[in-house]
Amino acid sequence: MRYTRDDAVPENVVILGAGCAGLSAAIYAARENFRPLVIAGAAYGGQLMLTTLVENYPGFPEGVQGPDLVMQMKKQAEKFGARFVEEEVESVDFSSQPFRIKTASNSYEALSVIIATGASARMLGIPSELRYMGGGLSTCATCDAPFYKNRDVIVVGGGDTAVGDAEFLTRFAKSVTVVHRRDAFRASKIMQDRLLSNVKVKVLWNSVVEEILGDNNKVSGVRIKNVQNNETKVVHTDGVFMAIGNAPSTKFLAGKLKLDERGYVIARDEVFTEVEGVFVAGDVSDGIYMQAVTAASGGVKAALQMRNYLNSITK
């Protein structure tokens, strides 16, 4: 059985977010005639919209531009009947059926919800970050390290992510300079030892990046300040990797679903939340892999479980 949408009937499924997870869920839900409504937020695509060439998404041997991949997925979902609204979710009510989702201008009711609002990389907050995003500034070493073969790169951060990214980058880069505002890493001891013993690695302790420098929107260096003596210097680099953590987009879920200490949705068996009929997919609950393809697979899993749920309540 499928509900036909009218003003008196809730949506079969509302998908929150239009990155790889949300769009993959929309494709699967639409192909099964659930006519999903996707509340996409102010922009589609999440972090892929800040990415240039994507070489590790299956099916594109020559690579694909991040925004192009997003828009192709959106067109595919629309082809099968998915509908999109460019609104931001302000609040949700999962306390009773139908579930309620509120944006600034509308309210929606749904029999099921897939949360795929993603996560965003934490940034330093300096003006040049936006200018050089995709032009030498990256938030994903796993994605972009191969572009920096035999080149000099900088990693900003001092936790497990930064140390892990720096070690990974040594497999490609000529040199890796880690900029850390403290005098010791927060990463695990074994990771620190492995990194610090690598001849390609240099660490600038007690230091922060004040500005990213470049020509024609391409990174050429950074201005670094020592926080102990306030001395500054310019360091040449071909690329800057931000590794100071990620922030899941879950503020609107506080008190509505269980979140971990970092704000990620706590999921059971990958896609189930504690509320029956509310599912989760992608980076909003995954602080480990954070890849386009893993987000897409999460969206598929959530959509299939959503199908099982709707079929069980509409027979």
- The closest alpha carbon to 103, from 85, 119, 118, 87, belongs to 87
Q: Is 20 a catalytic residue?
A: no
CA distance 24 to 309: 18
68 φ, ψ (degrees, to nearest 5): -65, -40
Contact in structure between 236 and 152 (CB atoms under 8 Å): yes
Looking at 7, 20, 68, 140, which residue is catalytic? 140
Q: Is 283 a catalytic residue?
A: no
- The closest alpha carbon to 177, from 166, 185, 187, 186, belongs to 166
Looking at 143, 238, 283, 286, which residue is catalytic? 143
Contact in structure between 243 and 144 (CB atoms under 8 Å): no
Looking at 6, 68, 144, 160, which residue is catalytic? 144
243 φ, ψ (degrees, to nearest 5): -140, 55
CA distance 224 to 234: 6
Extract the runs of DSSP E, i.e. beta strands, from 180-230: 201-204, 207-215, 218-226
Q: Which residues pair with 107 in a beta bridge?
A: 102
Q: Which positions are catalytic?
A: 140, 143-144
